[in-house]
Amino acid sequence: MSMRLEKLKRYFVIDKLIYHSVDLSLYMVSVIIDGEEHYITDNKKTFLKAPNLVSLQKLLKGVEATETVLRHTSPYDEMIGGPIKEGSNVLEVPLADNRLY
């Protein structure tokens, strides 16, 4: 499910703001509102993405979130031919906006 950035900025506080580390220099963003995850898009319905985290933080500086995290899912086990795991290997690290922009 997706949500436009304009609509997101109308919320007073969201449950969780998630910055996704997708690749070495590619980040995307999603939010959890009322238990549902929504990827954020621009006005053209293109997913927000940036080559660095600070660029996305600048776009979302007016969004208030109860929790903000950086999420990374590693394909390492699959790459080395490891056995399929029952659980997820998602890593979530608490993140603060240090206003480096």
pLDDT in tens, 31-78: 999 999 999 999 999 999 999 999 999 999 989 999 999 999 876 666
Read off the pLDDT of each residue in 10-35 and give the average, rounded to a whole number: 94
pLDDT at 79: 61
Q: Model pTM?
A: 0.86
Indicate whether 81 pLDDT > 90.
no
Sign of CA dihedral 38, 39, 40, 44: negative
The reply to whether CATH 3.40.1180 applies to domain 2-94 is no
pLDDT at 87: 72
What is the domain partition of the chain in residue ranges?
A: 2-94
Q: How large is the C-alpha radius of gyration of the chain?
A: 15
Mean pLDDT of the chain: 90
